[in-house]
Chains A and B, each alone.
Chain A
Amino acid sequence: MKRYYQPEIETMPREQLKALQDERLAKQVKYVYDNNEFYRGKMDELGIKPEDIKTTEDLAKLPFTVKDDLRDQYPYGLMCKPLSECVRIQSTSGTTGRRVVAFYTQKDIDLWEDCCARAIVAAGGDENDVCQVCYGYGLFTGGPGLNGGSHRVGCLTLPMSSGNTQRQLQFMTDLEATILCCTPSYAAYLGESAIEAGLQDKLKLKAGIFGAEAWTEEMRQDIQNKLGLKAYDIYGLTELSGPGVSFECEEQKGMHINEDHFIAEIINPITGEVLPHGEKGELVFTSLTKEAFPLIRYRTRDICVLNDTPCSCGRTHIRMSKPMGRSDDMLIIRGVNVFPSQIETVLLNNGMSPNYQIIVDRVDNTDTLDVNVEMPADAMSDSVADITAKEKQLIEALKSMLGIKANVHLVDAKSITRSEGKAVRVIDKRKLY
């Protein structure tokens, strides 16, 4: 079995990788300055010339790019290539505000697919595998990215796209899919559906590559148990290419960042100051090889930690933790920062199902937090006291995790709508503006 898709890059000695980044960064900054008015204007404003950027240490001199810049420059303002040289656009799911559109040259697509291929090989994939891709195809990067990566690895690729769970399960069992690519919430749903249909014994899945939304370690265990596979996390942003900016290896302890294509920094989200590896802060990326739509110091709004300790898998590229929250997912309830992932952790740790919904509202000028969670079969009892005790246990556990009170409501099994793409976990009914 192949261990790496591009071993010479993935296991490149750190010094050599740093030299590669320095060289690519200097070249990229000059390229962007010469070809894009927006970036040139921002650099001129700060009196920075491309020659000032020689190594990655100079990166902090450059201004940040934020999501609003992408929205303001929509659709062509951040391009560095004429449209005639572009072959594709992809777009964000638009879950948080206006859509962002990203452009790709053929080379951009090739490099992106290489990144996805690295993730598939890291999950144990090779040309003997049958790879079922049930991320959405179309503007969303999930389907096209993993589809391309799967082709490059040589897997038999099932371009299922999202939805139609019965058909997914039929192909999965009839064609003996061994690798599954989809969102973690859909993976959990497929697992549940497979069990219900009595198909668990017919599954041949060995690995799953799950991304595009936040998920917890507890959810990983749940998916692994239901589908009998090893679940790997994959990270990416449409703005930077799509999935494959970073990916997990067999260690399942953080995602290796494809540092030959992206430089990662962690900053203090308030001051913008660069923090050392190991500290928690906002993740910032600079793309080193993108042609059509390069980004300089792009603030992802994902809160995480970088880990530069060597990994036993042999990859030398640094790892990032799972995002601990996305600043745009973050809810401020009664002045307290609440991440949905914290609530999920509490629910799963207390034997509840991963099917839940968070409802935030404002009643008489006070924020309210309600968590609806489906009643799991093994917590069922003939005694009201037992079930109210369970509710109380959850309320207390949430209070100790979040620091504020949440009302917990046990609801009927299967009453919370299952998602086929990104799960709608949070309903914020407050009218704050």
Chain B
Amino acid sequence: MIIKQISVFLENKMGRLSELVNILAENNIDMQAMSIAEAADFGIVRIVVPEPEKTALILTEAGWTVKQNDVLAVSVDDKPGSLNRILTAIAGAGMNLAYSYAFFSREAGKATIVVKVNDNEAAEKALEAARIL
């Protein structure tokens, strides 16, 4: 499934992440997934939330620099080898993975893997062909 992800720019400064999650909490926004990518003096926090448009607006208005983009979310069985089936299918379709992160699903025994590739539709097709989606 193609979903919206929000990326937030974070200067590498003490307490900054705490400020970010605090504003989400204040606005009663439930994060479904989060991952942090860090460079020397900044980081990018990537989050998945139920109402991405609204969340992006709240963050922008509060002065955060954000960007929304599409990523692929794949639901798999929470057991060894699941991630590799996805990666194999993507590599088999000749695609390079930009980044990926995982979170437990609310559905028992399931996990969700977020993957970022350059072509979401093509990746989705490759996963369908491999009977993962």
By a beta-carbon cutoff of 8 Å, the part of chain A in contact with chain B is: 375-377, 380-384, 387-388, 409-415
Contact = CB atoms under 8 A, between A and B. Distances in A.
B11 A412 contact: yes
Interface residues on B, range: 20 to 34
Contact of B42 (A376, A377, A383, A387): A387
B46 A415 contact: no
Contact of B63 (A384, A387, A414): A414
Contacts of B7: 380-382
Given A381-B7, A382-B116, A387 B39 contact: yes
Given A377-B66, A382-B69, 9 more contacts: A376-B65, A382-B5, A384-B37, A384-B39, A384-B44, A387-B44, A409-B42, A410-B9, A413-B9
Nearest to B42: A410
Interface in B1-24: 5, 7, 9-11, 13, 16
B54 interface: no
- Most chain B CB inside 10 Å of its own CB: which residue of A411, A412, A413: A412
Main secondary structure of the interface of A (DSSP, over half): loop
B41 interface: yes
B98 interface: yes
A282 B98 CA distance: 54
A414 B65 CA distance: 10
Nearest to A411: B11
A413 B64 contact: yes
B42 A381 contact: no
B2 to A, nearest CB: 14
29 contacts: A375-B11, A375-B42, A375-B65, A376-B65, A377-B65, A380-B9, A380-B65, A380-B66, A382-B44, A382-B67, A382-B69, A382-B116, A383-B44, A387-B39, A387-B44, A388-B39, A409-B41, A410-B9, A410-B11, A410-B42, A411-B11, A412-B9, A412-B11, A412-B16, A412-B64, A413-B9, A413-B65, A414-B63, A415-B11
B128 interface: no
Interface in B36-52: 37-39, 41-42, 44, 46
Contacts of B64: 412-413
Contacts of B67: 377, 380-382
A413 B99 CA distance: 25
A381 B7 CA distance: 7
Contacts of A410: 9, 11, 41-42
A352 B5 CA distance: 24
A384 B66 CA distance: 13
A411 B46 CA distance: 18
A235 to B, nearest CB: 35
